[in-house]
Structure 1
Amino acid sequence: MAGAVLAGALAAGFTATAASALQSENGQSIGGSAPVPVNRPNIVLILADDLGFTDIAPYGSEINTPTLSAMAQRGMSFTNYHTAANCAPARAMLLTGVDAHVAGVPNIPEMLGPEQRRHDHYQGVLGNNVVTVATLLEDAGYHTYMAGKWHLGAGAGKLPSQRGFERTVALADSGADNWEQRPYIPIYDKANWYADGKEYELPEDFYSSRFLVDKTIEFIDSNVSNQRPFFAYLPFQAVHIPVQAPQHFIDPYMATYEGGWDELREQRLARAIALGIVPERTGTVRMQTTDDWELLDEERRRYEAKRMAVYAGMVEAMDFHIGRLIEYLKASGQYDNTIFIFTSDNGAEASGPADLQDFATQRMVSSLGYRTDYETLGLKGSYNAISPSFASAAASPLAYYKFYAGEGGMRVPLIIAGASLPAKGVLSSAFSFVTDITPTILSFAGVTPPGERHGGRPVEPMIGRSLAPLLLDNAAGVYGPEDAVGYELAGHAALFQGDYKIVFNRGPLGDDRWHLFNIVEDPGESHELSSEMPQRFQSMLSAYERYAKDSRVVPVPPGYDHRKQLVLNILYGGLRTPFVVACLSVLMLLPFYVAYRMRRRDMRRPTTL
């Protein structure tokens, strides 16, 4: 394998020193001392927020994403790539190659209970025991830039400007408005933006996707003449709540979603099959939180269709602005030496209310100065989010969505492309995980991951594996059939091994039981195998227990619910105004409302198609 990787690297236009850096991989994280390559590639890591598995055209979407479609044609699209089901843990693993629990980010800090916070590695901020890919690249002579959402800590030493990024404009929060500097939920007093470590005021003409690409271009252009390579991390706000877009991006989709979420889910499944993204006989599970489109009145259908049209417009706007970055790189002569990585932090967000115009939701959004009228939906001053029903379609044909360990929460697009890479328009069904991204970036840069110490302190070893053998050598995979990759978030859990996955989803949406699926043949998790393969099932359960012990997973306390814990953390944190208490009480009651709806649907219709 090593010789083939070396040959592939040379064929791809890499220098001999760059190829020799790759030679030591054998599908594993790089070890030892790697020489510094000449003409090292620039690397652009693009991260969408809450983007579903089939939300872009190369994966079966009806949304117009020509930039990402072209990127897929120039590189490799991964159809079996997995990430965390929540933003901060995914970002921690993406940028370090280390398991989220070990890195100090087992969950977002807003959802950690006091029983868990007693543990040092359960603070929800990136620990000093890990090294970011930006730090390693900066040490190796790269310029390092970031423009976008951070959400890995804002205290002393925690901002990206102190974690290896030379130039930054960063949102420290879980999300914020896309048109102006305002919070999107009552948790925050303001939207906390920082530039190069200092508090920052957004410009008057702000729109998030345009602004973040503008800043990325500005950062790159400021050093374009000194011949050093750059690493640019571009984590978009799209398509996190609030879902907002310029009107001209919304208009093309105004009639697209009139058929409803079930129709959309089936259309995306058909296109994904035709594209080879999922197998021909992929089964699906209808989520119990999906409403009956036919029972909605005409006015409500019209409104719901526009909610999704704004979502599509926001995805297309992101794609358009990525295209602007690519055009700049072409015009400045940097494109051919740039590798692009595009993915999402987790699956589709389903926290939007089923009815955006109900009384409780109206009270919350109006308290923040938002409106939800049909005519201005998605524009400046408007609050919008898709419902769990359309979120299930965004994840089509997968089960579940963000926060849950089902494939819809964890399996997302991943495209890696570049003129220097031999893979062009290729699909890979090889299993890959979010911790693989940092080792992959380092391998292309010819940079060695840290050993037991870095910067005078002990650090955790990377567990991810470079995907370079897939991209350069057409390898079948970087994980063997017995290699196990574990995962846990707020009591939801999974373990991947070969073609198989065991998964545990907590109630009220899950059933608090372990299940076994072949996710290569059955990515929709529609055919449960634990009774057919009891030996494999038990073996994988044992492997998960080893993972949980090695990664120091702290069990959630009895009765834990992430929405309820969010409410309690905010109340005990001092935000006790009557209106905030009322709004957060609604959030606390939401799971019980979901459970009620689920029981009603159980009596009305079957749950599988």
Structure 2
Amino acid sequence: MIFAPTKAEPVMPRSLLAVICLLLFAPLASAQSDQKQPARPNVVFILADDLGYSDIGCYGGEIDTPNLDGLAANGIRFTQFYNTARCWPTRGALLSGYYAQQIHRDALPEVPGGGNGVRQEWARLLPELLAPAGYRSYHSGKWHVDGPVLKSGFVRSLDMRNQGNFFSSAGNSIDDVPVPKSDDAGYYATIATADHAIDCLKEHSSKHAGTPFFHYLAFIAPHFPLHALPEDIAKYRDRYLAGWEAMREARYAKQRSLELVHTPLSKLEQDVGPPYHFPEALEKLGPGEVNRPLPWDSLTDEQRRFQATKMAIHAAMVDRMDHEIGRVIAQLKAMGAFENTLIFFASDNGASAEIMVRNGGHDPTASPGSAATYLCLGPGFSSACNTPHRRHKTWVHEGGISTPLIAHWPAGIQSKGELRATPGHVVDIVPTVLELAGVAPTREWKGEALPPAPGKSLVPAFAADVTVKRDSLWWLHEGNRAVRVGDWKLVAAKGDAWALYDLKTDRAEQNDLSKAMPDKVRELEQVWQKQTDEFTELAKQTLDQQPKAGARPRAAARRNRN
């Protein structure tokens, strides 16, 4: 029944009616507004391996990466994000929230560590920390962290242990169980990694809908050996014949147009080659190989074609990885999870200058990029992939430690295509995800206070281009060392004296200010040493729990080197 005012009933003034309606319905409007706030997000962290800072399109590259570019266009890009310069330290830091040296996953001057190091019991990984909030965690791809995957809190895993042949599954593990032998017809590691991730997502959608998930998607690509599908290589076959100088200049110009960098372009260091010298590899690879970034016009025709072909394979691997990421995105959309999934993308270190021959060796008569070949990018095109920065993987100059970081979350990040200049580090991922998941940081473990975690939450930077406050960022790897305080960076390669750079205008590390500013050098050196001493004291407490030298099989030790 509808009631309406009669002639005997005065009509309420519209202004008064509006006020009453506002009072009556304001709580409901507020509740509806609260309901629009995103729930705890799903999280997908995508990690590439040996990807250069400028390799993907949205960071200046010419490689076709439409899916990653789309995430960047509808999310945010961090311009000063860092890794640890090497694969296994980065993975340990990323998943634990601690510097690798704090948890025995990289060495200190007085404490051995690295790929064979064993974390302390308290150094739990992100899946274990998320479990109390109801998250289910999945892993697809490279592991390279100590211990079985499932014991670290993941409920499913594809462990790509075979990192020497992209066309074979031999040696891999599923849920920590070795895969059965297969003829591997049609197998390619990058596709298999995405297939596993998609299968996990489908299972989650059908059996655990409504439960948040964390998926760690760690591609091997574009790590050596340079293996790619023939159709992907053909797309880039002749694209790099102009050489690494031309590629660097083109990428730098694009980066400047995108306002990604505000620094001069670094100079090629013709005297800096691979971090490890394997003369026998150069013999096996033949006269086309070059282990220095020499002027392109000084190379022979054979050398130019050989180098351009290697870069074409590297590009094909990145292109294919982006394509497979697109399939994962399509699955997230199909299951209705895309809007409330926070997707990160980063690289474990800079592009690699390494040149070596491992595993099954190298057949110079085989088609480049096929299973019978073993090629590495080398210092020439590695320098171009790390544009505009200096040096490569293993060094802690900017070229070794700078990574793209894309963050895309439609329900939680309203910014579209914006840049974030705050410095950040992979140790920041754990506190960021825990904050969004509503998980309070753990302060103790079994009655003992935990060491303070160095990471900072990046959540404030999701909303605006603000600086996440921190005292410093610190690096040490194989004698290469660095510290960053504000825009000042102190850095030295193994055996070299400290050099000082103002990264606000010189991220390419071209103008060494150490002689002009000795007091600043001493100030930053004290910061670096204090961190080193604290980490050493912590690591020594559990030194007796570390494996003795030579305790692991040599094959495992070789696998852990990269």
TM range (shorter): 0.7 to 0.9
Q: How many residues align?
A: 495
* Aligned residue number for residue 566 of structure 1: none
Answer whether contact 1:56 1:62 (CA < 8 A) is retained.
Answer: yes
Q: Matches of residues 479-490 of structure 1 in structure 2 within 5 Å?
A: 479=469, 483-490=471-478
* Aligned residue number for residue 283 of structure 2: none
Q: Does 1:47 align with 2:38?
A: no
Provide the C-alpha distance between the structure 1 equivalents of 2:35 and 2:100, rounded to a whole number of angstroms: 33
Partner SS, residue 382 of structure 2: helix
Q: Does 1:308 align with 2:301?
A: no
264-273 or 489-498: bigger deviation: 264-273
Matching residue's letter, 1:528: D
Match among 187, 196, 221 for residue 215 of structure 1: 196
Q: Does 1:64 align with 2:64?
A: yes
* Aligned residue number for residue 295 of structure 1: 298
Partner SS, residue 486 of structure 1: strand
* Aligned residue number for residue 444 of structure 2: 452
* Aligned residue number for residue 528 of structure 2: 544
Provide the C-alpha distance between the structure 2 equivalents of 1:433 and 1:14, rounded to a whole number of angstroms: 37
Answer whether contact 2:361 2:374 (CA < 8 A) is retained.
Answer: no
Partner SS, residue 316 of structure 1: helix
* Aligned residue number for residue 178 of structure 2: 199
Answer whether contact 1:479 1:498 (CA < 8 A) is retained.
Answer: no
* Aligned residue number for residue 545 of structure 2: none
Matching residue's letter, 1:443: E
* Aligned residue number for residue 352 of structure 2: 349
Deviation at 1:370, TM superposition (A): 4.3
Answer whether contact 2:79 2:261 (CA < 8 A) is retained.
Answer: yes
* Aligned residue number for residue 205 of structure 2: 224
Matching residue's letter, 1:513: A
Provide the C-alpha distance between the structure 2 equivalents of 1:371 and 1:307, rounded to a whole number of angstroms: 15
* Aligned residue number for residue 164 of structure 2: 176
Provide the C-alpha distance between the structure 1 equivalents of 2:448 and 2:127, rounded to a whole number of angstroms: 17
Partner SS, residue 128 of structure 1: coil
Answer whether contact 2:263 2:505 (CA < 8 A) is retained.
Answer: no
Matching residue's letter, 1:248: E
Q: Matches of residues 431-446 of structure 1 in structure 2 within 5 Å?
A: 431-446=423-438
**CA separation of 1:574 and 1:163: change in aligned 2, threshold 3 A:** closer
Partner SS, residue 79 of structure 1: strand
Q: Matches of residues 388-399 of structure 1 in structure 2 within 5 Å?
A: 388-399=379-390
Partner SS, residue 103 of structure 2: coil
Partner SS, residue 488 of structure 1: strand
Partner SS, residue 385 of structure 1: coil
Matching residue's letter, 1:371: D
Matching residue's letter, 2:502: N
Partner SS, residue 523 of structure 2: helix
Partner SS, residue 101 of structure 1: helix
Match among 442, 455, 460 for residue 464 of structure 1: 455
* Aligned residue number for residue 33 of structure 1: none
Deviation at 1:475, TM superposition (A): 4.8
Deviation at 1:220, TM superposition (A): 1.4
Provide the C-alpha distance between the structure 1 equivalents of 2:465 and 2:371, rounded to a whole number of angstroms: 48
Q: Matches of residues 499-510 of structure 1 in structure 2 within 5 Å?
A: 499-506=487-494
**CA separation of 1:14 and 1:490: change in aligned 2, threshold 3 A:** farther
Deviation at 1:554, TM superposition (A): 11
Match among 332, 335, 339 for residue 338 of structure 2: 335
Partner SS, residue 125 of structure 1: coil
Please provide the CA RMSD for this pair. Answer: 2.9
Q: Matches of residues 141-180 of structure 1 in structure 2 within 5 Å?
A: 141-153=134-146, 158-172=147-161, 175-180=163-168
Provide the C-alpha distance between the structure 1 equivalents of 2:367 and 2:33, rounded to a whole number of angstroms: 53
* Aligned residue number for residue 479 of structure 2: 491
Deviation at 1:172, TM superposition (A): 4.5
Q: TM-score, normalised by structure 2?
A: 0.82
Provide the C-alpha distance between the structure 1 equivalents of 2:128 and 2:554, rounded to a whole number of angstroms: 36
* Aligned residue number for residue 89 of structure 1: 89
**Structure 1 unpaired stretches of 5+:** 1-12, 20-37, 183-190, 354-360, 556-568, 577-582, 588-609
Matching residue's letter, 2:417: G
Partner SS, residue 379 of structure 1: coil
Deviations 1:167-207 (A, max 9, x none): 1111347x33111035xxxxxxxx3x222122223752321
Deviation at 1:287, TM superposition (A): 4.5
290-299 or 254-263: bigger deviation: 290-299
Matching residue's letter, 1:91: R
Match among 402, 415, 430 for residue 406 of structure 2: 415
Answer whether contact 2:83 2:348 (CA < 8 A) is retained.
Answer: yes
Provide the C-alpha distance between the structure 2 equivalents of 1:462 and 1:524, rounded to a whole number of angstroms: 29
**CA separation of 1:168 and 1:459: change in aligned 2, threshold 3 A:** farther
Provide the C-alpha distance between the structure 2 equivalents of 1:458 and 1:370, rounded to a whole number of angstroms: 52
**Structure 2 unpaired stretches of 5+:** 1-30, 274-292, 540-548
* Aligned residue number for residue 262 of structure 1: 245
Matching residue's letter, 1:500: W
Answer whether contact 1:257 1:305 (CA < 8 A) is retained.
Answer: yes
Q: Does 1:426 align with 2:418?
A: yes
Deviation at 1:284, TM superposition (A): 3.6
Matching residue's letter, 1:98: Y
| Identity percentage of aligned residues | 32
Provide the C-alpha distance between the structure 2 equivalents of 1:229 and 1:305, rounded to a whole number of angstroms: 44
Provide the C-alpha distance between the structure 2 equivalents of 1:234 and 1:305, rounded to a whole number of angstroms: 29
Matching residue's letter, 2:535: S
Deviation at 1:134, TM superposition (A): 1.0
Provide the C-alpha distance between the structure 2 equivalents of 1:447 and 1:287, rounded to a whole number of angstroms: 49
Deviation at 1:262, TM superposition (A): 1.8
Answer whether contact 2:67 2:326 (CA < 8 A) is retained.
Answer: yes
* Aligned residue number for residue 238 of structure 1: 221
Partner SS, residue 404 of structure 1: coil
Provide the C-alpha distance between the structure 2 equivalents of 1:250 and 1:79, rounded to a whole number of angstroms: 29
Provide the C-alpha distance between the structure 2 equivalents of 1:308 and 1:342, rounded to a whole number of angstroms: 22
Provide the C-alpha distance between the structure 1 equivalents of 2:346 and 2:515, rounded to a whole number of angstroms: 35
Matching residue's letter, 2:151: Q
Answer whether contact 2:103 2:120 (CA < 8 A) is retained.
Answer: yes
Q: TM-score, normalised by structure 1?
A: 0.76
Provide the C-alpha distance between the structure 1 equivalents of 2:344 and 2:369, rounded to a whole number of angstroms: 28
Deviation at 1:15, TM superposition (A): 8.6
Q: Does 1:478 align with 2:468?
A: yes
Partner SS, residue 169 of structure 1: strand
Answer whether contact 1:160 1:197 (CA < 8 A) is retained.
Answer: yes
Deviations 1:35-81 (A, max 9, x none): xxx83211100000011111111111111100110011111101101
Answer whether contact 2:419 2:465 (CA < 8 A) is retained.
Answer: no
* Aligned residue number for residue 136 of structure 1: 129
Provide the C-alpha distance between the structure 2 equivalents of 1:295 and 1:371, rounded to a whole number of angstroms: 26
Matching residue's letter, 1:478: V
Answer whether contact 1:75 1:415 (CA < 8 A) is retained.
Answer: yes
